[in-house]
């Protein structure tokens, strides 16, 4: 906005905003100027008080930590997982020529070519780290076949299965069911509401707390191509997963109570915050829809 445009806007406000004053015929004007401009000199002609940050104060400015925001940042989209400073952006572009073939190699070897028993050691050799923390109460793997975890990415079931097999090879052959009752992923340290549908199985529940760490790219999106989520996750130099098996929770009866207890235990273990938000809330904020894909197939 040019200087003349600013003066015209303020003049129009003074002529047509008699009802916006402070009671003595004076129009209240609040001016906000960014760095590196001379608007504060213009504001001196119209504002009673002008506050300008000094150079000493500017040198002390630091990025505000997310936990100190006026409102918690729970939902956000985009692939970049770092603050785009000059040095960090340059490092990303230097890494991209290596990231694409490395991600293709990881997908080809771990997901397509190699058997599941060899996926974990090969993944570690390619820079993918997975840390498994066993539960304090050990029970037979065949008894607990329902694993309920928070949702971090599309690769959650693979990490849970790999960690389960590594800690109990004899009983792991029977398989199990991995459930993410949040219904969608959440990047920030918050847990969405757990759907109580998994409690209808009537089986004991093994809560699993998942924490993922990425340096450059997020492996989740709400408005982009979801088929590329695993690819972006594996483009990180050294993606890491922490799989923490918690003490079992008795199932059967009291669906919402069991779901809330599982959510509380996982949040307490990870240091996250429980919320009552759902998948629908996330997609309304990020994509402007309720997250449901319409079925266009018409039955004859």
Q: Which range among 61-65, 130-134, 135-139, 244-248 shows the weakest confidence by mean pLDDT?
A: 135-139
Instruction: Give yes or no for residue 176 having a pLDDT over 90.
Output: no
Tell me, what's the pLDDT at 138?
57
pTM score, whole prediction:
0.74
Tell me, what's the pLDDT at 132?
87
Tell me, what's the pLDDT at 43?
66
Tell me, what's the pLDDT at 112?
76
CA distances from 205 to 137, 146, 202, 244 (A): 13, 5, 9, 14
Which phi and psi angles does 16 have, rounded to 5°? Answer: -110, 5
Tell me, what's the pLDDT at 260?
93
Say if CB 144 and CB 240 are below 8 A apart.
Answer: no
127-130 own/partner pairs: CB under 8 Å, 24+ apart: 127/102, 127/237, 127/238, 127/239, 128/234, 128/238, 128/239, 128/240, 128/241, 129/238, 129/239, 129/240, 129/241, 130/159, 130/162, 130/163, 130/240, 130/241, 130/242, 130/243
Query: Binning pLDDT at 50, 70 and 90, where does residue 269 land?
Result: very high
Which DSSP helix (H) or strand (E) runs through 166? helix 156-167
Mean pLDDT in the chain?
79
Q: Determine the average pLDDT of the residues in 146-167.
A: 78
What's the CA gap between 91 and 122, in Å, rounded?
Answer: 26
What's the CA gap between 178 and 207, in Å, rounded?
Answer: 10
What's the CA gap between 276 and 46, in Å, rounded?
Answer: 47
Q: Is 170 exposed, middle or buried (0-12, 13-18, 19+ CB in 10 A)?
A: exposed
Instruction: Give yes or no for residue 300 having a pLDDT over 60.
Output: no
Distance of CA 231 to the CA centre of its chain: 17
Say if CB 206 and CB 192 are below 8 A apart.
Answer: no
Q: Is 157 exposed, middle or buried (0-12, 13-18, 19+ CB in 10 A)?
A: middle
Q: Which range among 140-144, 204-208, 242-246, 283-287 shows the weakest confidence by mean pLDDT?
A: 140-144
User: Which tokens in the block code for residue 192?
Assistant: 């969405």
Q: Bridge-partner residues for 190, per DSSP?
A: 273
Instruction: Give yes or no for residue 287 having a pLDDT over 50.
Output: yes
How many CB atoms are closer than 10 A to CB 16?
10
Per-residue buried b or exposed e for 255-293, using 16+ beta carbons within 10 Å of the residue's own CB: eeebbbbbbebbbebbebebbebbbebbbeebeeeebee
CA distances from 32 to 14, 35, 39, 40, 181 (A): 18, 10, 8, 8, 45
Considering only CA atoms, which of 201, 211, 66, 186 is closest in space to residue 147? 201
Which residues does 264 contact at the CB level (< 8 Å), separation at least 6? 274
pLDDT 10s digits, 64-122: 887 788 888 889 888 999 989 999 999 999 999 999 999 999 988 877 777 767 777 88
Which phi and psi angles does 245 have, rounded to 5°? Answer: -85, 125
Q: Bridge-partner residues for 206, per DSSP?
A: 147
Query: Binning pLDDT at 50, 70 and 90, where does residue 172 land?
Result: very low
pLDDT 10s digits, 138-148: 554 445 578 89
Tell me, what's the pLDDT at 27?
57
pLDDT 10s digits, 177-216: 888 999 899 988 999 999 998 888 877 888 999 999 999 9
Instruction: Give yes or no for residue 165 having a pLDDT over 60.
Output: no
pLDDT 10s digits, 18-48: 445 555 556 566 666 655 556 666 666 666 7
């Amino acid at each position: 906005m040019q200087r003349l445009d600013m003066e015209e806007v303020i003049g129009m406000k003074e002529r047509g905003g008699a009802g916006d004053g402070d009671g003595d015929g004076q129009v209240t004007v609040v001016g906000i100027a960014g760095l590196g401009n001379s608007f504060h000199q213009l504001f001196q002609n119209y504002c009673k008080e002008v506050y300008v940050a000094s150079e000493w104060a500017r040198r002390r400015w630091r990025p505000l930590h997310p936990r100190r925001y006026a409102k918690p940042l729970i939902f956000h989209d985009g692939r970049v997982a770092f603050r785009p400073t000059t040095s960090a952006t340059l490092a990303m572009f230097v890494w991209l020529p290596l990231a694409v073939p490395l991600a293709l190699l990881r997908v080809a070897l771990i997901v397509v070519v190699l058997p599941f028993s060899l996926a974990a050691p090969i993944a570690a050799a390619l820079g993918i780290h997975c840390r498994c923390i066993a539960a304090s109460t050990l029970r037979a793997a065949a008894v607990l076949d329902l694993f309920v975890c928070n949702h971090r990415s599309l690769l959650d079931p693979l990490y849970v299965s790999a960690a389960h097999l590594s800690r109990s090879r004899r009983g792991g052959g029977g398989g199990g069911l991995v459930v993410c009752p949040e219904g969608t992923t959440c990047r920030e340290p918050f847990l969405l509401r757990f759907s109580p549908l998994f409690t209808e199985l009537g089986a004991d529940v093994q809560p699993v707390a998942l924490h993922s760490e990425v340096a450059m790219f997020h492996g989740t999106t709400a408005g982009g191509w979801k088929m590329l989520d695993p690819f972006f996750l594996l483009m990180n130099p050294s993606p890491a997963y922490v799989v923490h098996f918690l003490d079992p929770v008795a199932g059967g009866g009291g669906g919402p109570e069991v779901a809330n207890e599982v959510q509380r235990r996982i949040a307490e273990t990870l240091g996250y915050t429980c919320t009552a938000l759902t998948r629908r809330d996330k997609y309304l904020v990020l994509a402007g829809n309720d997250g449901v894909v319409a079925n266009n197939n018409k039955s004859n």
